[in-house]
């Protein structure tokens, strides 16, 4: 219990070091960012590195029955729809309707991540501006020199929010771009599944 109290006290000191008005919103953005990234990372799992044609052939022949990831599930759903529908025009429409939910999952929280990546440095910069204004106001009244840190301590406090804003944004930017690229490739995979299933012929001979 004492360790928790100590940890909470240190956390409060850390949050107040850059100003509670700025640090707490940034802390909330950290949770929002990593929740969005975690959801996308967990969702965008292809399941296998095999090509779409190989996957469709294996599932159609019964050599594989368990869906291990995102694309595997899409292939299974697509095959079930094809078995229930013989009209190619209707089949394509049904596949598009079914894959709509897959496409929606691919972009879910994408805008949240992008928004946090853009907003976090701006909030950090706002904190720096507020801190610098307070620093120069204190300097004008000479009250800052009575503090242990002097002018350097005031500026350090002002820059603290910018540092945290960048710490939030940079990982989100890098990981978000990697996940966006992966999601784009999976959208292409969904298009390929639709094209193959709507083609004529025996799926085992694809």
Could you tell me the pLDDT band of residue 10, with boundaries at 50, 70 and 90? low
Region class of 122: left (phi > 0), else alpha (psi between -120 and 50), else beta: alpha
Q: How many CA atoms lie within 13 A of 89 on its CB side?
A: 0
Residue 23: Cβ-neighbour burial (10 angstroms; 0-12, 13-18, 19+): buried
Query: Residues 192-202: pLDDT tens digits?
Result: 998 888 875 55
pTM above 0.85, yes or no: no
Query: Residue length, the chain?
Result: 206
> What is the spatial distance between Cα 131 and Cα 133, in angstroms, rounded to a whole number?
5
Cβ count near 104 (within 10 Å):
9
- Tell me the mean pLDDT in the region 66-92: 84
pLDDT in tens, 106-133: 999 999 999 999 999 888 888 877 777 7
């Amino acid at each position: 219990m004492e360790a928790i109290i100590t940890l909470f006290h240190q956390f409060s000191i850390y949050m107040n070091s850059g100003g509670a008005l700025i640090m707490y919103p940034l802390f909330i953005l950290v949770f929002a960012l990593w929740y969005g990234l975690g959801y996308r990372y967990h969702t965008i799992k292809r399941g296998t590195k095999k090509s779409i044609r190989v996957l469709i052939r294996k599932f159609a022949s019964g050599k594989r029955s368990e869906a291990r990831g995102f694309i595997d599930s899409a292939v299974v759903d697509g095959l079930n729809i094809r078995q229930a529908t013989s009209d190619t025009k209707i089949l394509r429409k049904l596949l598009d309707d079914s894959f709509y939910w897959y496409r929606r999952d691919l972009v879910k929280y994408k805008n949240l991540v992008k928004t946090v990546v853009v907003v976090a440095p701006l909030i950090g910069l706002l904190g720096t501006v507020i801190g610098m204004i307070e620093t120069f106001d204190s300097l004008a009244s000479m009250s800052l020199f009575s503090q242990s840190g002097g002018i350097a301590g005031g500026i350090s406090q002002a820059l603290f929010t910018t540092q945290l804003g960048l710490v939030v944004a940079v990982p989100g930017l890098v990981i978000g771009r990697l996940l966006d690229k992966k999601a784009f490739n999976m959208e292409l995979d969904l298009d390929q599944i639709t094209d193959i299933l709507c083609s004529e012929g025996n799926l085992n001979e694809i």
